[in-house]
Amino acid sequence: MSGQIHEFPPLTNFEDQDGPPSVLIQPSRQLVVPEGVHALGTRDIKPRLKKWQREHPLELVCMAHIGEPEGDPMKAVVTALKTAPDQPDSLDYGDPQGIKPLREAIAEHLNRRSIYPWDVDPDSIVVTPGSKMAGMISARAVLNPGDIAAMSELAYPGHYAGVLMNGGHLIPFHVKKHDSYHHDPDQMKEVLDRYQPRLIWVCNPGNPSGLVYTEDEAAPIIEHMVSHPDCVLIQDIIYKDLTFDNSHSQMVVFSRNPQIASRVITNDGASKGPRATGLRIGFVVVPEGQDLLLQNIADQANADFAGVSPLTSKGIIPAFTPEGDNDTARFRDSLQNKRDTVISMINAIPGLNAPIPQGAFYALINVADTGMDAGQFYNFALDHGVSVVPISYFGATIPNINGNPFLREEIANSTVRWSFGGSLEPQIQGLRRLYTALSEES
C-alpha cells in the first residue's frame, strides 16, 4: 500500500445545495444597538437621491443628512500618508495604546487648549479606531450592569449604545424646543438627584443639536459630581474647535474644573475639525492619577483591536500640530459662513424654523408648521432631491430606565437634522427647491 494516494470526498457539494442551510446559526442574545443614521443613508436615502438625480440631471442633489465635513484633510496629512509606507514599522502592529509620536502630538494639541488643569501626559492617551470606539471602551471601563447613565435626550447614538451594550440604563436630560433645544437646568437637577447616575455623558458641542453647553446647563452636572465622588463624566469634545460667533473661549469644558477633573474622561478624534473621517482615528484621555482606569482602557484596546494602524497614525500627526490648528480654524470660519447662509434660507421657508447652532455643523429644524411630521417631511424633501434625518433616529426607539422612549415624541415627531458641513451650492439649490415647493403648498 506504500505510495497509494487516498482521495477524500468533499465536505459539501455546494453546486447541489439549494436554498438556505439546513441549520441556521442563531446570533447570541447580546444587545446590539446599531446607529440608524448610517443604515438609513445606505438603505433608503442614496438610492432615492440617485433616482432623483437621473430625473433631474441639470440640478444638484442636496445630501444634508451626512455628518461628514466637506473636503480632504490638510495637505500635510495627505503628504504624510503618502510617505508613511516607506518609513520603518509603518506596516507593523505598532503599540496597542497608539504609536508614541501620535500620542505626543495629541497631548500637545490638547495642552494648547488647557483641556485639563495639568498638562496631558502622552502615556495617558489611548488611540482608537474612531471616537465611537473611544466612547465604547470608556463606558465599558466604568459601567457595571445595572448602572444608570444620564445624557441629553438629543444624544449621539454611539453614546447611548455604549451604555446599553454594556448593561447600563439611560435617563435623559430633556431639551426645550422653544429655547433652541437647550436643557432645562431644573429638570437636569431633578434627574441627577432622583436617579444618582454612575455616569454622565456629554457631547459638547452637540450632535445632533449643535448645542454648546452654557454655564447654567453645566452647573447641575458640576454640583452633582462635586457632591457625589463616585460619579464619572465622559466628555465627547470632537467638535471642540468648531464653535462659532467667538464662543470658543466661553465653551464649558468640564475637565477644566479642578474639583471634578480627575473623574472626567475625554473622547476626541480626527474626523471633524481635521476632516479625516476615513482614517478612523479617535482617542481616549484618562485623567491624571487614574492608573487602574488607564490600564483597563489600554487592555481593552489591546484585546479589541490590537492598536490602530501605524500607517494611518503617522499620516494624521500633522493634524494635531499648530499648523493643523490653523487649518481647522480656517475650516471653522468657512463653516460659520455656511451656517449663516443655510440658517437664513431655512428660516425664510414657509413652515420651517431653525435656531442658530453655536457649534458642530448641524441645525435642528422644527417642521411642525408645515403640517407634516418629521417622517413625512423627510419623504417630502427626498422627493425634491434633498436628504435630512428625522430626529427619531437619535433615540426615539431606545428605552429609558422607565421603559419610555429616551427621546420624547414631541421632539422626535416634529424635528429633523440638517448637516451644513458639505458643499454650499447643493444646499442652496436644495433649499430653493424646498422654498418653492412649500410656498406653493401654503
For residue 376, which phi and psi values (nearest 5 degrees)?
-65, -40
Q: Is the pLDDT of residue 294 over 90?
A: yes
Fold of 87-320: Aspartate Aminotransferase; domain 2 (3.40.640)
Q: Is the pLDDT of residue 50 over 80?
A: yes
- 300-329: pLDDT as tens digits: 999 999 999 999 999 999 999 999 999 999
Predicted local confidence at residue 361, as pLDDT? 97
Rounded Cα distance, 295 and 44, in Å: 42
Predicted local confidence at residue 38, as pLDDT? 78
The cell 437664513 sits on which residue? 344
Q: How wide is the angle at C-alpha 397 spanned by C-alphas 49 and 388, nearest 5°? A: 25
Predicted local confidence at residue 6, as pLDDT? 58
First to last CA, the chain: 91
**Domain 36-72+325-441 of CATH type 3.90.1150.10:** yes
Mean pLDDT throughout 284-313? 97
Top-confidence range, 7-11, 174-178, 350-354: 350-354
CB burial string 85-120: b at 16+ within 10 A, e below: eeeeebeeebbbbbbeebbbbbbebbeeeebbeeeb
Predicted local confidence at residue 156, as pLDDT? 95
Q: How many CA atoms lie within 13 A of 127 on its CB side?
A: 30
C-alpha cell at 198: 454612575
For residue 81, which phi and psi values (nearest 5 degrees)?
-65, -35
State the virtual CA torsion across 240, 243, 247, 251 in degrees, nearest 10.
-30
Predicted local confidence at residue 132, as pLDDT? 95
- 136-152: pLDDT as tens digits: 999 999 999 999 999 99
Q: Is the pLDDT of residue 252 over 90?
A: yes
Rounded Cα distance, 105 and 113, in Å: 13
Mean pLDDT throughout 193-210? 97
Q: Is the pLDDT of residue 7 over 70?
A: no
Predicted local confidence at residue 183, as pLDDT? 96
Of residues 329, 328, 357, 349, the one with CA closest to residue 419 = 357
Q: Is the pLDDT of residue 275 over 80?
A: yes
Mean pLDDT throughout 65-85? 94
How many CB atoms are located within 10 Å of the residue 186 CB? Answer: 9
Domain limits, CATH 3.90.1150.10, in the chain = 36-72+325-441
For residue 297, which phi and psi values (nearest 5 degrees)?
-65, -40
Percent of the chain with pLDDT over 70: 95
Q: How far is CA 172 from CA 121, 221, 395, in A?
A: 33, 13, 10
441 pLDDT band (50/70/90 cuts)?
confident
Predicted local confidence at residue 1, as pLDDT? 47
Predicted local confidence at residue 338, as pLDDT? 97
- 403-424: pLDDT as tens digits: 999 999 999 999 999 999 999 9
Rounded Cα distance, 134 and 239, in Å: 15
Predicted local confidence at residue 108, as pLDDT? 98
- Type of residue at 292: L
Of residues 161, 143, 272, 267, the one with CA closest to residue 197 = 143
Predicted local confidence at residue 352, as pLDDT? 98
For residue 182, which phi and psi values (nearest 5 degrees)?
-75, 165
- Type of residue at 429: Q
- 343-376: pLDDT as tens digits: 999 999 999 999 999 999 999 999 999 999 999 9
Rounded Cα distance, 140 and 166, in Å: 6
How many CB atoms are located within 10 Å of the residue 326 CB? Answer: 11
Domain limits, CATH 3.40.640.10, in the chain = 87-320
